[in-house]
Structure 1
Amino acid sequence: MGGTGGVPRVRLPAAYRAAARRSARVTVAAGAGFYLFLYGFGSAEAAIYALFAAVSLAGLSHIPGTGRQRAAVVARLLPVSLVLITVGTYLSVQTWTATTGMLVIGFALAFSAVGGPRPAGAAPGLQLMYILPSFPPYDPGSLGSRLAGAAVGIVFLVLAERFLLPDPPTVPYRQLAARAADCARRCAEELTEPPYAITDRTLQEAQAASTALRSSQVPEAERPAGPGVRDRGLTHTGLATRTLLARLTAPPQPNPGPAESGLGPAVLRAVRDTALETADRLRGRAPDAGDAHAELLRARTAMAAGPDAGASPAALRRHAAMLELADAALAMSTAAAIAVRGRAGAAPAAPGRFWYAQKRAPQLWWRRMAGHASARSVCFQNAVRISMALAAARVIAGVDTLPHGFWVLLATLTLTRTTVRQTRSTVRVALTGTLIGALIVAGLFTLVGTNIAVYAAVLPPLMLFAFTLGPVKGVGWAQALFTLVVALAFAQLAPATWQLAEFRLLAVLTGSAIGAVFGLLAWPRGAQDELRRSMAVLLRGAAENVVATTAQLAAGGVRAPVTAAPGHRSLMHSLVMAEAAYAQFQSEPRGLAAGHPGQDPQGSTGPHEPAGQDSPQDWQATLMAAHHTLWGADRLLVPPERIVAPPLELGPTAAVSRLGDRVAGRMLLVSARLDPSGDTPQDPVPLRDPDLDDFEVEPPGAPRVYYAAVSWLDALMTDLERITGEATTASPGP
C-alpha cells in the first residue's frame, strides 16, 4: 500500500481487477444495446436480444485471451450467432422441432470443444443464441428485430473488448518456445567450451524455461491446442524443445577417445546454431545467412556413420546420446518452421513424425473430430450430456408451458457440470443464491411497483456489481445477483410483480433438477475414471510399440518412412484421447468445498471450473512416456540418413529383445495399476531389479544401434519411474 497525503492506496486482488474489467465491458455493451432499442427505438424485442447477445458471449461464455483476442473471436462469431437465432426462431413454433434442433445443435456446439479453448469457451454463449428464440412469442415475423438487436449487441461487445480497459498482455507460446530455444543454445555453447559443463545458472534457466512450456503453466488463450497445421507445429516445437533441454542437461557421458574427438563438438556446435536459428524464427526474425538445420543434418549423418570399429563402450554410449541430441534439435527446428510458415515450412519434414505438415485444414479438422467420435472421448461425453439435458428441458418447458421457460434452459446450461458431485454441490449453492435473490426481487417490486425509471437507473450499476462479484465469489453469489439483473431487465419490458421472482426460482429449480439427473445418468464421474482408463490404454499401446520396435531392430529391418510399425497408429490415437481426458481432469475441482469463494470463476455464467488441486499421480509424465515411445521408435527405425542397419549379432540381439520385453512388461504393470476396471492392487510397482537389470551389462562386440536402442529404453524406464514416483531427482525433461 502507498499513497499521497497520508492516505493509503489499496490495490484490489488480481481476480477482482480482472473481473471488474470484464464486467465493465459487458455492462457497457449490453446496457448500450438494451437502452438504445428500448428507449430509443421502442423495440422491446430488439432490446432483449441486444442485452442477451452481449451477456451470452462475454458473461456466459469464457473465451480466453486478452480483450483484443476476444474481440477477434466474437467478431467471427457474429454470423454464427445470427444463423442460430434464425434457425431457433423458425423451429420454435413446434415443441418437437425445437427439441430436435436443441438436441442436434446442442451436441454440435458442445462437440466443437475439440477445436481448442476458444471454441470450447464460446460454445455456452452460442447455445444461448439458439435457446433465446425458442420460446414465446413464436413470431417469425419479428426475426428482423431479433437479428438487429443481436447484431448491435455483439458489435458493441467487440468494440468494448477491443478498446475498453485493455487486459495486461500475456506471453505468446511462440515467445516461450523461443526463450527455451535460447536456453538450449546456451547449454550447447557451454558444452563446447572449457570446462565443457553447464553452469548452475544456465541449468536453472533451462529448468525454468522447460517448465514454462508445460500446458498447465501457459495461459489458456496461448496454448496451441487447435487442429490446424500451425498449432500442431507449435505444440510439436514445445515438446521437441523440452526434450532437447532434457538431453542437454542430462548427466554427461564419459569423454570418448581420440577417434571421436571431432564429431561430438561438431554436433554440439550445429545444435547451438540450430537453436539460435529456431529462436530467431519463432520471434519473426529472418535467420542469419546459412542454413543451420541443414548443417546439423549433415553433422548428424556424419556422426551416424561412425564411430570407428573397436570404439570403446564409453564412446558408443556418448555416440548414442549425441544422436538423440541431434534428433531432438532437428525435430525442434522443423516443427518451428511449420509453426511459423505453415505448410510452406514443411519441406524438410519427415512424413511420420510430422504427418500433419502437408495436410489441409479440413483434413486436420476431420481427423480431430473423427478421433473424438467415440464414447471414450470426454468431449463426446460432454456433448451428449449437455445436449440431452437441454433437449429434455425444452420438452418440459414446452409441454408444461412454464412461464419464462427460457430460464429453465439457461439454468440447465449453466448448472450442469461434468461430474455428478460437482452438479450436486453446484445446484445446492445455486438454489440458495437464487432464493436469496428472489426474496430481494419480491421486496423490491413490492416497494417500487411499476416505477420503470427506478429499474432503468439501477440496472447498469447492478450489472457492473453482479458481473464483478459473481465470477469471483462463486456460483451462489452469481445466481443471486443474476436473478436481480434479469428481474430488473424484464421489469422494464412489461409490468412485473413479485411473482416474477417466483417464476425465476421455479425455473432454476426445474433446470437444475434436469442437469442433476443427466449428470447422474451420463458418465457421472466426469474425466476421473476416463483419465485412468485412457492412461492405462496408452501405456498398453506403448508397450506394444516397444516390443515391435525392438523385435524389428533385432531383425535388422528399418521400415520405410510411410509404414507404421505395429501399434504405432493406435498409440497415436490413444495419445489424443488421453490428452483430452487430462485437459478436462485439470478443469474439474477436487477436494474443494462446494461454493467456496473462487471455486467457480464463471459463477452462474458458464460450465467452467478452475483447475483442481494437483493429483499425486504424474499424468503428464505418462503422456510424455507415450511421446518418447513414438519418437524413439521413429528415430531408431527411420533415421534421417535412411541407412539400413545390419542384423545384430546373437548376443546384442538377445540383449535388445530382453530389454525391450522388460520395459514393455514394466509398462504393462504400471498400466494395470492405473486401470480403474482392473483388479490389480494399487501397490507400488518395482521397476528396476538390480539382479535382472541389463542396462549396465554390455554384450561384447555390440554395434552402435544396440547403444541407441538401450539409450531409448533407459529413457523410457526413467519416464516410468517419474510416473510411479520412484524418480529421486528432478529433471527439466518434458
Structure 2
Amino acid sequence: MLAGADRLAADAPPEPIPDLAAARLLRSCAETTRAAGRSLSPGVPAVDLGDLDAAIGRAEVAYPGGEGDGRDGSDVPRLCRDATVLALADQVRVFAVGARVATGARLDGEDAYSGLFEYARRGRWTLYWWQFRSHLAPRSAHLHSSLRLAVALAIARVAAGLLQLTHGFWVLLATLTVLRTSAADTRTALRPAVLGTIIGAVVSGGVMLVVDEPIVYAVVLPVTLMLAFGVGRLLGPVWQQALFTLLLTVVFAQLSPEGWRLAEARLVDVLLGAVIGVLAGVAIWPRGASRDLRHNATGYLAANAYAVEQTVQAMLGGASPPDRALDLVRRQMVLVDSSYCQYHLERHDPHRQQVNWEAVLSAGHHVVPGAESLLRRNPPGCLAGWPAAAALLRDSAGHLQSVYDDLAGEVAHGRPPGPTPVLTACSDELDRIRPLLGEVDPQSVRHLVEVDRWLSGLADSLARIHAPAGDRPARRR
C-alpha cells in the first residue's frame, strides 16, 4: 500500500487535475485502512468492505474507457494515475480482507476474490491435506526434518535394543534433545546436553548413595518437577538438562532398587543418544535450511518470471489463461516460506555475507495478487489485435523476466543481488505509441496502461534489492 501511494505521488502531474472519482476512492481507501486497523483491537467490529467496493465500482465506471466516460484514451497522465489508484485500492482491499481473516470474521462471496485467502473458507482437515501434499517435495524443509528425525530415532531404538539397555527410551530422548535441523545447531546443543547430564548424574548418584527410602523421593517429586520444568528453563539449557536428569532419577528411584547405578545408566544412555543425534545431524542434510532456501528461492523467482510471461501472453490473446502458472507460484511459495522460517531458527556465520532474503521473497510476493487483480478488470485477450501494444508489453515483460532470472542465478550461487535496473515511468513507456492512442478503442488503452502499471510495480519491488541488508536470524524464544 505504501509503495502504491509513493508511485501515485510520483505520477502526479505538475498541476492538479480535478478528478472526483479518484479522490473519493482514495478517501474510501483511507477510511477503510483506519477501520481495518481499529478492527484488530479486541471488542471492535470487523471492517466493512461495502463502502470501498462501491467506491471502486464508481471509479471503474468513471475511468477513461469505462462505461460512464466518453473521453478518448489520449490523456496518458490521467490514465496512469487512475490505474495506480485502482491498483492501490486493490491493495487496501487485500489488507482489509486480511484484517477480517485475522479477527475471525466470515468471508462470503466476493470477500475472498483473491486466492490469497482461499484457505479462510476451507475446513481444518482440508488445510492439513493441502500442507501435507505441498510438502511432499524433495526440497521441503519439513520433509527433510521429518526424515532426519525418523532415521535418528530408528537408529537409537535399534541401538537400545541391541545393547539391551534397561532404560533404552532415554537414548531416544537424548537423541531428540540433541538433534537439530543443521549440523552447526546440533553441535551447539550437544555441549549443554552432555554437561547438564553429567552434572545431574553426579548429583543424583550422590543423593542415592545417601538416601535409599522411596518415600523420600515421592515427597520431593513435586519440587523436582517445578525445578525441571519451571526454574530450569530460566537458568539455561545446561541447568535444565541437569534438573531434568535429577527429575528422572527421582521418578525411577521409587520404582527400581538400582540405587546409584540408575544415574550411571542415565549418563550412558544420554551419551549414546547424543552420539546418534550428532551423527544424524552431520550426515543427513547437515547445512539445514540454507541450501534448501537458496534452491526454493531460485525456483520461486523462476516461477514468478514464468507467471509474468504467461499473464502478459494471456492479455495479448494467448492460448490459455495463466492459472497453471499462478498455481505453480503458490506451490513454490509454500516451500520457500517454510525454508525461510526454518532458516531463521538456525545459527549462521555472522562474518559470512548473507542474502537479503526479505527483499528477495517480497519481490515475488507481489506477482500473484497483482495478476489476480489485473485479470479481474482486464480479461484475457483484451489487447489482442494491437501490434504496437504487443511489442511494448513483450519488451517490458521480457526485460522483467530477465531480471527475475538474473536474480535467481545470483541467489542460487549465494551471491548478494546487485543493483537492479528499473523500468521507465508509465508516461515514458507510452510515449513510444502515443501517436496511435487516438486510433484504437479507449478501453484497449486502459487495459494497456493497467498491464504496464503492474509490470512497473513489479520492477519497483525488484529495484529495492541492492546490497545485503545485514540479514540476521530472528531472536530465539
Q: What is the TM-score when the length of structure 1 is the normalising length?
A: 0.56
Shift, 1:365, TM fit: 2.1
Q: Residue 437 of structure 1 contacts residue 479 of structure 1 at CA under 8 Å; is this kept in 2?
A: yes
2:4 matched to which residue of 1?
247
- For 2:200, the aligned partner's letter is G
2:472 matched to which residue of 1?
none
1:231-287 per-residue CA deviation (whole Å, 9 max, x = no partner) reads xxxxxxxxxxxxx34423556131487875212102112223433554465555457
Of 685, 696, 707 in structure 1, the residue corresponding to residue 418 of structure 2 is: 685
Q: 1:696-707 maps to which residues of 2 (within 5 A)?
A: 696-698=428-430, 699-701=432-434, 703-707=445-449
Q: 1:200-279 maps to which residues of 2 (within 5 A)?
A: 244-248=1-5, 250=7, 252=9, 253-255=11-13, 261-279=19-37
1:506 aligns with 2:263: no
> Are the structure 2 counterparts of residues 573 and 670 from structure 1 closer, same or farther at C-alpha, using a change threshold of 3 Å?
same
> Are the structure 2 counterparts of residues 260 and 344 from structure 1 closer, same or farther at C-alpha, using a change threshold of 3 Å?
same
1:37-71 per-residue CA deviation (whole Å, 9 max, x = no partner) reads xxxxxxxxxxxxxxxxxxxxxxxxxxxxxxxxxxx
- CA separation in 2, counterparts of 1:683 and 1:277? 39
2:403 matched to which residue of 1?
666
Q: 1:435-450 maps to which residues of 2 (within 5 A)?
A: 435-446=198-209, 448-450=210-212
1:647-668 per-residue CA deviation (whole Å, 9 max, x = no partner) reads 4743332222111111110111
- CA separation in 2, counterparts of 1:574 and 1:619? 15
2:475 matched to which residue of 1?
none
> Are the structure 2 counterparts of residues 289 and 551 from structure 1 closer, same or farther at C-alpha, using a change threshold of 3 Å?
closer
1:296 matched to which residue of 2?
55
Structure 2: which 5+ residue stretches go unaligned?
438-444, 470-477
Of 166, 184, 205 in structure 2, the residue corresponding to residue 403 of structure 1 is: 166
Shift, 1:346, TM fit: 4.0
Equivalent position SS for 1:417: coil
- CA separation in 2, counterparts of 1:417 and 1:574? 24
Shift, 1:310, TM fit: 4.9
- CA separation in 2, counterparts of 1:392 and 1:338? 44
2:464 matched to which residue of 1?
722
Shift, 1:330, TM fit: 2.6
1:567 matched to which residue of 2?
325
- CA separation in 2, counterparts of 1:645 and 1:249? 28
1:558-600 per-residue CA deviation (whole Å, 9 max, x = no partner) reads 97xxx544521111100010001111111112248xxxxxxxx
Equivalent position SS for 2:344: helix
1:366 aligns with 2:129: yes
Q: Residue 256 of structure 1 contacts residue 318 of structure 1 at CA under 8 Å; is this kept in 2?
A: no
Q: 1:332-731 maps to which residues of 2 (within 5 A)?
A: 332-340=95-103, 345-350=108-113, 352-356=115-119, 358-446=121-209, 448-553=210-315, 555=316, 564-591=322-349, 616-639=354-377, 645-647=382-384, 649-676=386-413, 682=415, 684-688=417-421, 696-698=428-430, 699-701=432-434, 703-725=445-467
- For 1:667, the aligned partner's letter is Y
> Are the structure 2 counterparts of residues 544 and 564 from structure 1 closer, same or farther at C-alpha, using a change threshold of 3 Å?
closer
Shift, 1:405, TM fit: 1.0
1:314 matched to which residue of 2?
77
Q: Residue 183 of structure 2 contacts residue 278 of structure 2 at CA under 8 Å; is this kept in 1?
A: yes
Equivalent position SS for 1:685: coil
Shift, 1:480, TM fit: 1.8
Q: Residue 466 of structure 1 contacts residue 478 of structure 1 at CA under 8 Å; is this kept in 2?
A: yes
> Are the structure 2 counterparts of residues 631 and 479 from structure 1 closer, same or farther at C-alpha, using a change threshold of 3 Å?
same
> Are the structure 2 counterparts of residues 332 and 670 from structure 1 closer, same or farther at C-alpha, using a change threshold of 3 Å?
same
Structure 1: which 5+ residue stretches go unaligned?
1-243, 593-612, 728-734
> Are the structure 2 counterparts of residues 532 and 262 from structure 1 closer, same or farther at C-alpha, using a change threshold of 3 Å?
same
> Are the structure 2 counterparts of residues 622 and 300 from structure 1 closer, same or farther at C-alpha, using a change threshold of 3 Å?
farther
> Are the structure 2 counterparts of residues 489 and 358 from structure 1 closer, same or farther at C-alpha, using a change threshold of 3 Å?
closer
1:317-354 per-residue CA deviation (whole Å, 9 max, x = no partner) reads 21121011111123333444455566553444326454
> Are the structure 2 counterparts of residues 292 and 618 from structure 1 closer, same or farther at C-alpha, using a change threshold of 3 Å?
same
1:324 matched to which residue of 2?
87
Q: Residue 114 of structure 2 contacts residue 373 of structure 2 at CA under 8 Å; is this kept in 1?
A: no
Equivalent position SS for 2:355: coil
Q: What is the TM-score when the length of structure 2 is the normalising length?
A: 0.83
Q: Residue 47 of structure 2 contacts residue 96 of structure 2 at CA under 8 Å; is this kept in 1?
A: no
- For 2:140, the aligned partner's letter is S
Greater relative contact order (Cα < 8 A, sep 6+): 2
Q: Residue 617 of structure 1 contacts residue 723 of structure 1 at CA under 8 Å; is this kept in 2?
A: no
1:648-692 per-residue CA deviation (whole Å, 9 max, x = no partner) reads 74333222211111111011111011115xxxx836534217xx9
- CA separation in 2, counterparts of 1:697 and 1:265? 25
Equivalent position SS for 2:420: coil
> Are the structure 2 counterparts of residues 713 and 473 from structure 1 closer, same or farther at C-alpha, using a change threshold of 3 Å?
farther
1:366-424 per-residue CA deviation (whole Å, 9 max, x = no partner) reads 11110111221111111111122112212221232102112111111221111112112
- CA separation in 1, counterparts of 2:97 and 2:397? 29
Shift, 1:508, TM fit: 0.3
Q: Residue 303 of structure 1 contacts residue 323 of structure 1 at CA under 8 Å; is this kept in 2?
A: no
- Give the ranges of 4+ consecutive aligned residues of structure 1 lying more than 6 Å apart after TM superposition: 256-259, 287-290
Identity of aligned residues (%): 31
> Are the structure 2 counterparts of residues 371 and 442 from structure 1 closer, same or farther at C-alpha, using a change threshold of 3 Å?
same
- For 1:549, the aligned partner's letter is T
- For 2:371, the aligned partner's letter is A
Equivalent position SS for 1:723: coil
Q: Residue 257 of structure 1 contacts residue 315 of structure 1 at CA under 8 Å; is this kept in 2?
A: no
- CA separation in 2, counterparts of 1:578 and 1:617? 14
- Alignment root-mean-square deviation, CA: 3.3
Deviates more, 1:426-435 or 1:664-673: 426-435
1:607 matched to which residue of 2?
none
Q: Residue 260 of structure 1 contacts residue 315 of structure 1 at CA under 8 Å; is this kept in 2?
A: no
- For 2:61, the aligned partner's letter is A
Q: Residue 309 of structure 2 contacts residue 398 of structure 2 at CA under 8 Å; is this kept in 1?
A: yes
> Are the structure 2 counterparts of residues 288 and 434 from structure 1 closer, same or farther at C-alpha, using a change threshold of 3 Å?
closer
> Are the structure 2 counterparts of residues 687 and 351 from structure 1 closer, same or farther at C-alpha, using a change threshold of 3 Å?
closer
Shift, 1:503, TM fit: 0.4
